[in-house]
Structure 1
Amino acid sequence: MATTQQRIVPRYAHTAGRTSLAYSWDGKYLITVGSNEVIRKFTVGSEDEPVTIDDALGRNVAVAASNESFITCSESGTISLFSMATDTLKQLLVRCTLSSRDIALSPDGDWVAVASDETIVKVVNVEDNHKIMNLRSQSQSVKHVAFHPTGNYLAVSCVDGVIYIYSLSTEEPELVKKVDGIIKAVDAESEICSKVSWHPDGRAFAAQTPTRDIIVVDRAKWETHKAFASGHAGDITDFAWSPNGAFLASAGTDGKLVIWETEEQTIIAKYDYRHIVSLAWHPKHNSISFTTSRGELYTLPNAVPDDRAFRLKLTTRLAPLLNDSGPSTVLENRSMPPPPRKRASSVDSLDDILGGGIDDDLDDFIIDDDGAGYLEPKKNRKRGNEHLDPIVHGPKRPAYGMAMWSPEIHEPFQPGSTPWKGKRRYLCLNLIGFVWTVDQDTHHTVTVEFYDRDSYRDFHLADPYLYDKACLNESGTLFSCQPKDENPAAIFYRPHETWATRVDWRTSLPRGEEIVSIALSQSYIVVCTSRGYVRVFTLFGVPFRVYRQKHTPFVACASWRDYIFVMGNGAVGADGKTQLTYSIENVKRDETLQCSDVVALPPDGEAKNVFFSSDGDPVIYDSEGVLLVLARWRRRGEAKWIPLLDTKALDRLVGGRKEETYWPVAVAQNKFHCIILKGGEKHPYFPRPLLSEFDFKIPLSTNSIADSTTTTEGGATPAPNTDVLEETYVRESILLDLREELGVYTTTDEQGAMEMTKCVNAIDKALLQLLGLECQSEDYGPKALEICGLFRRKRTLELAIKVAVRFNQGVLAEKIGELRDRMEIEER
């Protein structure tokens, strides 16, 4: 099954951390909770901003909703009831002494079950919270709870890997079955899902096994039946049946969202979405909403492919048991819960929660599965598919999640790093050296090696923090790690040498922030976070500046001396993608040089790397293999991206002689330093690859690149052709402009002055040779004189006159003389 990805713009509902969601039964509202202690209420099909409810009592970890209300549970142990109509806190239902982990709402909306770090499960009446039942058979804390579709049973999943099934149809709740060996033991705070999900027909439930499969367990005999196998390469973080049980959706740590067909347990769609921790089917439409550990909310329209989506409109499907002849215990998929039923006044009994045992009035639970008509529908019985009417939008364009189109965003990356391959990856690759890490299962080991071992000493360290980003320069090495368990995100800096006793330092970021990209210069450390903040520190840990970037989410950042370069996602362009924007700041002077300007990318292009050149100019390398430099970036409104090299047009690739791509490393000494990748590789790997370098070559002409010289009349002395000379002129002019720009804002040393002189000489030499070729052509004319007007030095005009005379171009020589005289007058 091929993996696809529908480009969907996420809604940033909460800060990074555990984020959960629930639909109201009628599908009108979507409620999300997260780590920033607020509740968001989204109106499905509306473009309006969600309602923000600030009455949350702590960091909420789960939410359940009906049509009239929604209930949240928090790490502080509080279970709160909110009104759906007024968005206000109605009451505190119950408080646990330890952190609560999950809640479940009964099908009639009257009772809520609470899982917590306590060993007791509380079942609380929503209308009268003095009516509480305590389920006490567990020996360990509880991670998940789930009501049976009839409400007569409750499944409890404990952290020790044991499932407890309680009957709630008797006056005193009764432990029906203790199921061991299905789910694995997991920590209460783990993102790995160990819940039970009852199939809508009520005959079975599904649960994740230690082998990352989803197994079906028969409720009648408590035997395992069919399995949804081999869908994920990582642990499953959440799964859910479609409203009528025809499909199953699952998400895992492998970054896959998988849609299964229940009847055959086959995969019908697979999507690429990372960090999913909670998902839910829309009660009426063919869409799935899910939240991530980064606080993002996505809604995937047309989750089930069109050729199978009709099955969502059918009545409740049978659970995938080995013998499918048994009756279903639920009539059909409901978009509305059953009407409330009276119960006895006992505070410890669920006797009449749904009017009797699970097998009462069995005739009401026979379904016409194949449409043959053998079931005589009772009067006023609903078919159950009215809730699957097509989505009808108003005059406005479709809102989030219901839209058929969503803009595409630029994904973040850390310059110089590679993804995991095996258990190794590079955290940083540049001209100073390289940083690489190895996954040792319980921890990582990090190695920093240098090319110049006379000046620097390699080092190796154990990494319990699991650093995922690094920067390396002449001053030191910078690392960063993401939040883990109770530990917030942090950065760690280790200088190469210092006169002080303490040589390194570490600092944590505020809770709820993840690190998107980091940069290290000779003066400052830059950290871009998931909350849109740019945090700037001095090299020894003093917080220097903090501000929120205008365009987020971030893509990458780079730094050089006092300057920082930050890229982010901007407005949506004509091609349906967000524009990649950048800003440049001088943090020492608190001066903005370029603000939210657009990075020049080709159609469907992406930025593959960004860094400053050795001369201090921002450089990007795009997905088309083009290296671009940002010129005049110190002048507001004048910055422009100029191509220095098109690697697809290199001489070595002409005629298909080689098939290779290039991993950008640096720009220094007028050369592009990179790693050559062969055999379809996209990233460098181990053993450490060698660096290669290529001269700049401005893409100007479509003529043959290999034919770079011509032959003189004698046939012995090769000389550059017109294309080569024109490219030399343009290239050296660009390099001269960059150096002159640098010289205006910094002190030019002797080496810099010498480089500018070389550029001027190269420009005039190329133009003089072009003049010679033009004088030899039969149709020479104004172009020859135009070339003379481009000389950088007046004395070159004297040489130009000699060239014209040599080729018997007397009129041209006179014109050049007049041009020289005008220049002398202007200089006076």
Structure 2
Amino acid sequence: MATTTHIRVRGLPAHNPGPTYLSYTPDGTKLVTVGSNNTARVYNEGSDGEPSNLDDCQEQNFAVDATNEFMVAGSEDGTVSKYNFDSMEFDKFLVRTTLPVRDVCISSDGIWCAVASDELVVKIVNTSDQSAVMYLRDQPRPIKHLSFDPSNKYIALSCTNGLVYFYSLKNDEPELVRTVEGLIRTLETDSEFSSKIVWHPDGRAFAAATPTRDIQVMSKGDWENQRAFSGHSGDITTLAWSPNGAMLASAARDGKVILWDTKTQKIIAIYDYPNVMDLAWHPTNNIVSFTNTDGQVFIYHDFVPPTHTQLLRLSVQPAPFIHDPLSEISANAARRPVTNGSKDVPHRGVRQQSHDSLEGVDDILGSVLDDDFVEDDDGAGYALGLNGNGKRPLDDTTTYGSTTKRTYGRWEPRVHESFQPGSTPWRGNRKYLCLNLIGFVWTVDQDTHNTVTVEFYDHEEYRDFHFTDTCLYDKACLNEQGTLFACKAEEKTPAVIFYRPHETWTARTDWRTELPKGEDVTAISLSDSFITVTTSANYVRIYTLFGIPYRVFRQKSTPTISCASWRDYVLTLGNGPVGADGNTKLLYTIQNIKRDEICQSEDLVALPDGETLKSVFFSDDGNPCIYDSTGTLLTLLHWRTPSQAIWTPLLDTKLLSRLASGRKTESYFPVAVADNKFHCIILKGGDQYPYFPRPLLSEFDFEVPLYSPPKPTSDDDEPEIDESKKLEKNFVLGSILATQQQDLIDYTKSTPSQRQNLAKVELDIDKTLLQMLAVECREGEERGMRALEIVALLRDRTGRMIEAAGKVADRYGRGVLAEKIRELGEERLAAMEED
């Protein structure tokens, strides 16, 4: 409950009237203030006496920052001065600018000091060697504020043009990695209002004052708006997170200093203090200090009311995301590779692979995390055991869907996360529930409810629709018949399955059903015949399209991972035995539900060690396919024959010719396999998932990974493709497609068109082999044995292709080879007559 305090803290006269600024040393032993006169004040912790003075300062200091050993002040005359605390004297000028300095910021390790002035260029100078300087030049107008992120790998610049510029400092030369617009307002450098980027202590998000007098949190990496703090009626002048990120303090022109609860964005307390310019939390104690335009400093002991002081005792708390990706990971984590072949299960406090466009294998939480990063005060599963380095010990892991407490000396396997094919994680308040060739389903979090939209590519056949979602559906499937939804189980409500057909000949056919209490949905799939649901109880539940429970059975491989379906066939995935690397092997089962037949039972999914499955689906002609984290698309051959199935690669996206130059970096989000093509969404800039606005679909021809693509000789040249290698790829691919078509004919009531298609595929294979033969004949007589071997691979049994092969050999003057080919043809004809 927000309260307005009436106990006022007396302001201490520190400087002449005018803008006044302050900074705590990281150990909290000193509070430094600067202002309009030429003196800096140093207040010692716990002392009510007069502060120590630094009397050799420049006039009109507009910025200050401090380490435990020294402080830095920037002044109107363009000088940035360094002062030592040991001697309490001026040390040296770090840097000079031709125009007034507006902000200074020291990196948390004390090595670098960033300086913003009315000049266009921002300078980052080494505090020990001022000849070592980095320059940030991409901003077109002066910078008002700047701030290092907790890891010191990035710096945020608040420009007077209303844009925020983010630079990476990981390399010797700073690199502009992102420009954010619409977050801060346009301000002059001498404005008393704030547009500063204030990083949350966990390093994954930052806050800034918006033009609408709110405080908006934005996540780093996806650059999406997260939670916001609303309560000020005047323009905001300063804000600061508590050291553990559990609270936020802000001041504005409305004369209020407000204390917020980070987790709920609710006001804890309101304090009446006008004209506050700068504000800082004590690093360890319940003290907040602030300065005003009258040159005063206020040191407010017991700033946090007694009813909320427990928040100060928490370890670093998570930034206020709308949907925190790490809270979802902690309950359903994925295995990740680390050094020496081991894996770390990602969770709060552990460096992990990020979908951040700034970071590859990087710490999304920053380097400020301590041994006890998150206290699991809300039961979300954050507080998993960490060692003294903030990482999970190698013998300590978690299983997906549950939190496993660490037991000393106990080893546990690492299991694969469950996932919904075609969906994306929450990004801000939006996520895709389903992306395929029929259309797409997406949802928007509106706090009290969600809004779900279903859009189709074919608007002549289908009608788009949207609805208010109070069940908070987080999974969906879409096909030609209808749309299927599922939502999580909550403490008081069970998980729900909801199906909505596109067209019916009755008045109302939507239906929903509830799962038993405590049972959650891990994945769903939808075919022309059945609805399949895998659950946290390791059940596979089969329903007809109109809600009749058809079959329930417990999956052998657990925990469940995902499922896919096509017509009467259902493929289920689960975790199996533990491999040598400590990760579970993935097992799949394929069965015909209507005939109650098992095609493949608990067979292994062919994944390299340490890799994960990104998607599983059936192609348009009913062949199982997977796409893994190596960027490889594989299909399953002979899957209708028990114990005969093999995973065969159709495409390795790392070997695409478009990536051969090495200048392009992109990844691919799998959507479907149709018309013998891989349909996907191209992701740029290190993204792992597509986002809004809806991206365009791309398609790639199958290309069996046999060789690396040739590199182009220049930027404009197309790579030279070796004809022989291209033909070999076509031959192998044709053999795969022919095998799939032959299996379809052998195990189903084949149609004339299917049989004709098989004949066409085999004819194309023979044409490819004849072209390969021609290449061998051009190479010379010494390639004769390889050429004869190619002829032996011809599939035609009428003798016409053998005859054509002989003519090819004659055309190139390969008489001996032509004779061998004719002998081969006679042997094959004799064998056919015997059969």
TM-score range, shorter chain: 0.5 to 0.7
Which residue in the other structure is 2:731 paired with? 729
Which residue in the other structure is 1:758 paired with? 760
**Structure 1 residues 429 and 812, CA gap change in structure 2 (3 angstroms):** same
Aligned partner of 1:799: which letter? A
Taking the TM superposition and a 5 Å limit, the aligned residue runs for 1:429-578 are 429-578=435-584
Query: Does 1:767 pair with 2:769?
Result: yes
Query: Does 1:808 pair with 2:822?
Result: no
1:278: how far off? 7.4
**Structure 1 residues 719 and 750, CA gap change in structure 2 (3 angstroms):** farther
**Which one is further off, 815-824 or 468-477?**
815-824
Identity of aligned residues (%): 50
Which residue in the other structure is 2:697 paired with? 691
1:657: how far off? 3.3
Which residue in the other structure is 1:791 paired with? 794
1:294: how far off? 8.7
**Structure 1 residues 649 and 257, CA gap change in structure 2 (3 angstroms):** closer
* Match for residue 319 of structure 2 among 221, 225, 233: 233
- Secondary structure in structure 2 of the residue aligned to 1:486: coil
C-alpha contact (below 8 Å) 1:277/1:292 kept by paired residues = no
1:758: how far off? 2.6
Aligned partner of 2:785: which letter? P
1:696: how far off? 0.2
Q: Deviations over 1:40-75 (max 9, x none)?
A: xxxxxxxxxxxxxxxxxxxxxxxxxxxxxxxxxxxx
Query: Does 1:626 pair with 2:632?
Result: yes
Taking the TM superposition and a 5 Å limit, the aligned residue runs for 1:19-168 are none
Which residue in the other structure is 1:780 paired with? 783
* Match for residue 748 of structure 1 among 747, 750, 763: 750
1:218: how far off? 13
In structure 2, C-alpha distance between the alignment counterparts of 1:506 and 1:553, rounded to whole Å = 25
C-alpha contact (below 8 Å) 2:665/2:685 kept by paired residues = yes
Q: Deviations over 1:439-496 (max 9, x none)?
A: 0100001000000111111111110000000000011000001123422111000001
Which residue in the other structure is 1:820 paired with? 825
**Structure 1 residues 783 and 235, CA gap change in structure 2 (3 angstroms):** closer
Which residue in the other structure is 2:656 paired with? 650
Taking the TM superposition and a 5 Å limit, the aligned residue runs for 1:639-678 are 639-678=645-684
1:656: how far off? 1.3
C-alpha contact (below 8 Å) 1:217/1:223 kept by paired residues = no
1:267: how far off? 4.1
Aligned partner of 2:829: which letter? E
Q: Deviations over 1:186-205 (max 9, x none)?
A: 9xxxxxxxxxxxxxxxxx99
In structure 2, C-alpha distance between the alignment counterparts of 1:703 and 1:222, rounded to whole Å = 65
C-alpha contact (below 8 Å) 1:643/1:699 kept by paired residues = yes
In structure 2, C-alpha distance between the alignment counterparts of 1:468 and 1:746, rounded to whole Å = 36
In structure 1, C-alpha distance between the alignment counterparts of 2:332 and 2:824, rounded to whole Å = 71
Query: Does 1:299 pair with 2:405?
Result: yes
**Structure 1 residues 184 and 820, CA gap change in structure 2 (3 angstroms):** closer
**Structure 1 residues 701 and 218, CA gap change in structure 2 (3 angstroms):** closer
Taking the TM superposition and a 5 Å limit, the aligned residue runs for 1:591-630 are 591-630=597-636
1:405: how far off? 4.6
CA RMSD between the two structures? 4.0
C-alpha contact (below 8 Å) 1:290/1:297 kept by paired residues = no
* Match for residue 269 of structure 1 among 371, 382, 393: 371
- Secondary structure in structure 1 of the residue aligned to 2:455: strand
Q: Deviations over 1:276-301 (max 9, x none)?
A: 4579999xx9999999999735123x
In structure 2, C-alpha distance between the alignment counterparts of 1:498 and 1:476, rounded to whole Å = 10
- Secondary structure in structure 1 of the residue aligned to 2:616: strand
**Structure 1 residues 474 and 253, CA gap change in structure 2 (3 angstroms):** closer
C-alpha contact (below 8 Å) 1:256/1:270 kept by paired residues = no
Give structure 2 stretches of 5+ with no counterpart: 1-258, 265-283, 287-300, 323-329, 334-345, 351-367, 714-719
In structure 1, C-alpha distance between the alignment counterparts of 2:375 and 2:571, rounded to whole Å = 28
C-alpha contact (below 8 Å) 2:347/2:384 kept by paired residues = no
1:642: how far off? 0.3
- Secondary structure in structure 1 of the residue aligned to 2:667: strand
Indicate the structure whose relative CO is greater, using CA pairs within 8 Å and at least 6 residues apart: 1
In structure 2, C-alpha distance between the alignment counterparts of 1:220 and 1:538, rounded to whole Å = 58
Aligned partner of 1:728: which letter? N
In structure 2, C-alpha distance between the alignment counterparts of 1:460 and 1:411, rounded to whole Å = 30
**Structure 1 residues 725 and 511, CA gap change in structure 2 (3 angstroms):** same
**Structure 1 residues 667 and 548, CA gap change in structure 2 (3 angstroms):** same
Which residue in the other structure is 2:25 paired with? none
Taking the TM superposition and a 5 Å limit, the aligned residue runs for 1:93-492 are 224=309, 226-228=312-314, 231-234=317-320, 257=348, 267-269=369-371, 276-277=379-380, 296-300=402-406, 401-403=407-409, 405-492=411-498
C-alpha contact (below 8 Å) 1:674/1:691 kept by paired residues = yes
**Structure 1 residues 295 and 700, CA gap change in structure 2 (3 angstroms):** closer
C-alpha contact (below 8 Å) 1:409/1:577 kept by paired residues = yes
Aligned partner of 1:413: which letter? F
Q: Deviations over 1:3-24 (max 9, x none)?
A: xxxxxxxxxxxxxxxxxxxxxx
| TM-score relative to the length of structure 1 | 0.55
C-alpha contact (below 8 Å) 1:627/1:644 kept by paired residues = yes
Q: Deviations over 1:746-804 (max 9, x none)?
A: 23334433432331122111111111111222321221111111001131000001011
Aligned partner of 2:418: which letter? P
1:508: how far off? 0.7
- Secondary structure in structure 1 of the residue aligned to 2:728: helix
1:413: how far off? 0.6
- Secondary structure in structure 2 of the residue aligned to 1:812: helix
In structure 1, C-alpha distance between the alignment counterparts of 2:373 and 2:790, rounded to whole Å = 58
**Structure 1 residues 229 and 486, CA gap change in structure 2 (3 angstroms):** closer
| TM-score relative to the length of structure 2 | 0.54
Q: Deviations over 1:424-443 (max 9, x none)?
A: 11000000000000001000
In structure 2, C-alpha distance between the alignment counterparts of 1:674 and 1:273, rounded to whole Å = 40
Q: Deviations over 1:330-373 (max 9, x none)?
A: xxxxxxxxxxxxxxxxxxxxxxxxxxxxxxxxxxxxxxxxxxxx
In structure 2, C-alpha distance between the alignment counterparts of 1:221 and 1:601, rounded to whole Å = 55
1:719: how far off? 9.6
Q: Deviations over 1:306-345 (max 9, x none)?
A: xxxxxxxxxxxxxxxxxxxxxxxxxxxxxxxxxxxxxxxx
- Secondary structure in structure 2 of the residue aligned to 1:407: coil
**Structure 1 residues 803 and 222, CA gap change in structure 2 (3 angstroms):** closer
Which residue in the other structure is 1:155 paired with? none
1:655: how far off? 1.3
1:644: how far off? 0.2
Aligned partner of 1:790: which letter? L
In structure 1, C-alpha distance between the alignment counterparts of 2:304 and 2:682, rounded to whole Å = 59
**Structure 1 residues 228 and 781, CA gap change in structure 2 (3 angstroms):** same
Aligned partner of 2:500: which letter? R
Off by >6 Å, runs of 4+ in structure 1? 181-186, 216-223, 251-255, 270-275, 278-282, 285-295
In structure 1, C-alpha distance between the alignment counterparts of 2:617 and 2:635, rounded to whole Å = 10
**Structure 1 residues 812 and 224, CA gap change in structure 2 (3 angstroms):** closer
